[in-house]
Amino acid sequence: MLGTSASWRSRAVRALVLACGLGIAAPAAAQIGSERYSAIVVDARNGTTLVAASPDERRYPASLTKMMTAYMAFEALRDGRITLSTPVPVSYSAASMAPSKLGLTPGTTLTVEEAILALVTKSANDAAAALGELLGGGSEDRFAQMMTLRARSLGMRNTTFRNASGLPDIEQVSTARDMAVLGQHLVHDFPDRYAYFSTPNFVFRGRTLWNHNRLLQEYDGADGIKTGYVDDSGFNLVASAQRDGVRLVAAVFGGRTGRERDRHMMALLDQGFTSVGVAPREMLVARRATPGLLASAHAASLARTSARASAAPRVVTTRVAGRATARLVRGPASRAAPAPGLAAGRGIDQRSSLLRMTSTPTARQPVRLEQGDTSSRVSLPAQRRPAAAAKVTDKPAGKPAGKPVKTAGNGRRSG
């Protein structure tokens, strides 16, 4: 009994230390410019970083995890270990995953191709877990270890996976840079399979599943990759777009809403293309009200830097009646430097001012679930809890134009 109690305390302390190391406070709505925000834009031709904001700070990837699950499946297909028609058994554990999901029944199967399509469109957690169990020799935990080892070999030094779906786990972390690296590898290592990420929809047993990635319809040149969301991450997105022979891969973590995240991603991609000499295209109406997004991110970075500086002790010397007295104090030594576009002397107040420039909802406003979302709100616990105790979802993009993609197994219920 004593050993069990000590073990529990050890796990609790580890969770607390990790949370502090990540700079993660109590659950709160994430937004561009918040502590959960990070972003990067990379030129996929040579890996050059074009735009970056906290790209190496660890964040919760949410369903961006499924990019790695897909990468592992693509490798298995390339090596001949599986085929697109290989049956994927559905265990009780996989079927019990929280939404977003297909609603698979334990004891049934789906094909590898159906599982892949479910990952990239519906972002189905039950399909991800089942596919992970298949590739991990019957164990999703073993598959997560395989994912982590492969990610490290790809150069994703700050990424750790604990499951195949992205369901909340305090130890499952990544960075904007690492996810951009993964996006580049998916494009370059599997050019024939990468097209799955541009699938607008597909039919699974009579139901049409729609892709959650709005950029496929709203940004000229966009052709993938993946959305992600849990309460503690905010709205995440890895996107790729190609114009005039130039491909960019970008990652954004921490949007307050899916729409805010998408607008910010489009602004980042625009800046990236402009920086490499690609002529800008006509802006969509949805993007004309976002002039301050990049400045907002810069101001948030200033706020974090100033906060860290405020916490550092320093010696202040004062003179009273000719006698010098030294004392140790904490607090800012001077005001923060102004962010671009704002007058000096406003310090940390720049952050709220710049956020207002973006027409971003304030933290007091409730987050409205977008059409089609049926998820409940989820927060990471102080300790790891079973995946089924929390929910994760991506916000759907609605029903874009285009014919549903059908696979050979559609409409048939396997044994």
CA-based radius of gyration for the chain? 23
3-state secondary structure of 253: strand
> How many angstroms separate the Cα of 73 from the Cα of each of 112, 130, 131, 355, 357?
8, 12, 8, 41, 43
**DSSP class per residue in 341-367:** TS-TT-TTHHHHHHHHHTTPPPTTSPP
Nearest to 90 by CA among 134, 129, 130: 130
Name the residues annotated as catalytic: 63, 66, 123
State the Cα–Cα distance between residues 53 and 360, nearest whole angstrom. Answer: 18
Average pLDDT, stretch 147-158? Answer: 98
Give φ, ψ of 397 to 5 degrees: -90, 5
State the Cα–Cα distance between residues 228 and 395, nearest whole angstrom. Answer: 8
Q: Provide the Cα torsion 88, 92, 94, 100; round to 10°.
A: 120
Q: Supply the CATH classification number for the domain 27-284+292-298+345-358+391-396.
A: 3.40.710.10
Q: Enter the tokens of residue 123.
A: 């972002």
Give me the pLDDT at residue 282, please.
Answer: 65
Nearest to 213 by CA among 171, 262, 251, 250: 262
Q: What order do you get walking across the sheet with 207-210 strand by strand? A: 207-210, 201-204, 405-406
Identify the residue with better confidence: 62 or 338. Answer: 62
Q: Which residue has the tokens 């909340």?
A: 168
Give me the pLDDT at residue 179, please.
Answer: 99
Percent of the chain with pLDDT strictly greater than 90: 58
Average pLDDT in the chain? 74
Q: Which residue has the tokens 């604990």?
A: 162
Identify the residue with better confidence: 386 or 201. Answer: 201
pLDDT digits (tens, 9 = 90+) for 209-231: 999 999 999 999 999 999 999 99
Residues 247 and 231: beta-carbon distance below 8 Å:
no
Average pLDDT, stretch 352-361? Answer: 32
Model confidence band, residue 294 (pLDDT cutoffs 50, 70, 90): low
Could you say which DSSP state residue 171 is in? T
Over 60: is that where the pLDDT of 128 sits?
A: yes
Residue 366: which residues within 8 A CB-CB, separation 6 or more?
Answer: none
Give φ, ψ of 23 to 5 degrees: 70, 30
Give me the pLDDT at residue 280, please.
Answer: 75
State the Cα–Cα distance between residues 128 and 126, nearest whole angstrom. Answer: 5
Could you say which DSSP state residue 213 is in? -
Nearest to 349 by CA among 357, 37, 99, 25: 357
Q: Enter the tokens of residue 293.
A: 């997004």
Residue 225: which residues within 8 A CB-CB, separation 6 or more?
Answer: 67, 183, 186, 197, 213, 238, 239, 240, 249
Q: Enter the tokens of residue 194.
A: 């990468």
Residue 99: which residues within 8 A CB-CB, separation 6 or more?
Answer: 125, 374, 375, 391, 392, 393
State the Cα–Cα distance between residues 132 and 66, nearest whole angstrom. Answer: 10
Give me the pLDDT at residue 33, please.
Answer: 62
Among the residues of 172-237, which ranges form H helices?
A: 176-189, 215-218
pLDDT digits (tens, 9 = 90+) for 374-404: 333 344 444 343 343 344 445 444 444 444 4
Report the DSSP beta bridge partners of residue 227.
237
pLDDT digits (tens, 9 = 90+) for 35-76: 899 999 999 999 999 999 999 999 999 999 999 999 999 999
**DSSP class per residue in 291-323:** TTHHHHHHHHHHHHHHHHHHHSEEEEEEEETTE
Nearest to 293 by CA among 325, 319, 259, 317: 259
**E strand segments, 154-243:** 201-204, 207-210, 222-230, 234-243
Residues 42 and 184: beta-carbon distance below 8 Å:
yes
Give me the pLDDT at residue 143, please.
Answer: 99
406 known member of a binding site: no
Q: Provide the Cα torsion 21, 25, 27, 30; round to 10°.
A: -90
